Amino acid sequence: MDLKLAGKVAIVTGASRGIGRAIAERLSQEGVKLVLAARSAQLLQELADSCVSEALIFPADLRNEATPQALIDFAIEQFGALHLLVNNAGATKRGDFLQLSEADWQDGFALKFFSTVRCSKAAWPHLRRHQGAIVNIVGVGGRTGSAEFAIGGAVNAGLLNLSKVLADKGIVEGVKVNAINPGSIATDRLQLRIKNTALEKNISHEEAALAMAQKLGVARFGRPEEIAAAVAFLASPLSDYCQGSVLDVDGGQTRTL
């Protein structure tokens, strides 16, 4: 199916691995020109070299206040337009609420929340000009909360609200804004969680993975490509009646309305 994305220009943050990498690969397959942002220049270049569409890299730390504007400026300088922003940067620290430091909270909000705010603000005039779109990659913890994911849950709840705010503005100004809540996706970060669980419970890696997966609705972990497919849909004209939507791609993990 032609999603009518060929020739469009997109920025994907957090693109070097996991979900971000899968998103970049899927958009590249659709013929999208890419600006790939993350901290690892090596991983970004490896990804760019594997893309079938034109892909440029922007290695930088989005926690720095000036970086988001520089990222948007780079995309415009190189491609002359911007049609899609995928805010995917940021993995917050896990841990017990009482053990998390003030610096942990500040770092989590700087990397995931404020990078989304700043990238969206810098990109907005260009997206408005081209009737473009924003897709925010958030997380199921923003709706349900979890003792283990105190920072992530708080950040994600804020991002869900921000997505609604931007969607309301986008109705008037012609920018489509939606969010995706990934569930437990098979990434390196999830593998680390499984490893830690196995050590804590003195069981094998396979046993820990099976126990975690069985708690999910469809009893398996999601694939990064499944999140990427949702992004491609929300970026395409097929989703033009979606505005302010939150798409849970979690295998039935979320039990709230």
For the chain, the maximum distance between any two Cα atoms, rounded to a whole number of angstroms, is 56
pTM over 0.75: yes
Q: Which residue's structure tokens are 């991983």? A: 43
- Please check the confidence at residue 112 and state whether its pLDDT lies above 90: yes
Per-residue pLDDT tens over the stretch 174-207: 999 999 999 999 998 889 888 988 888 889 899 8
For residue 163, is pLDDT > 80? yes
Contact 179, 160 (CB under 8 A): yes
Q: State whether residue 55 is helix, strand or coil.
A: strand
pLDDT value at position 190? 83
Dihedral angle, C-alpha 224, 225, 226, 229, nearest 10 °: 130
| Cα–Cα distance, 119 to 62 (Å, whole number) | 9
Question: Residue 132's pLDDT band (boundaries 50, 70, 90)?
Answer: very high
Q: Is 111 exposed, middle or buried (0-12, 13-18, 19+ CB in 10 A)?
A: buried
- DSSP state for residue 65 in the 8-state scheme: T
Domains, the chain, ordered by start: 9-185+223-249 (3.40.50.720), 186-221 (no CATH)
**What's the whole-number mean pLDDT along residues 35-41?**
98
Q: How confident is the model at residue 146 (pLDDT cuts 50, 70, 90)?
A: confident
Cα distance between residue 112 and residue 53, in whole Å: 27
The whole-number average pLDDT for the span 196-222 is: 88
Q: Mean pLDDT over residues 86-93, rounded?
A: 92
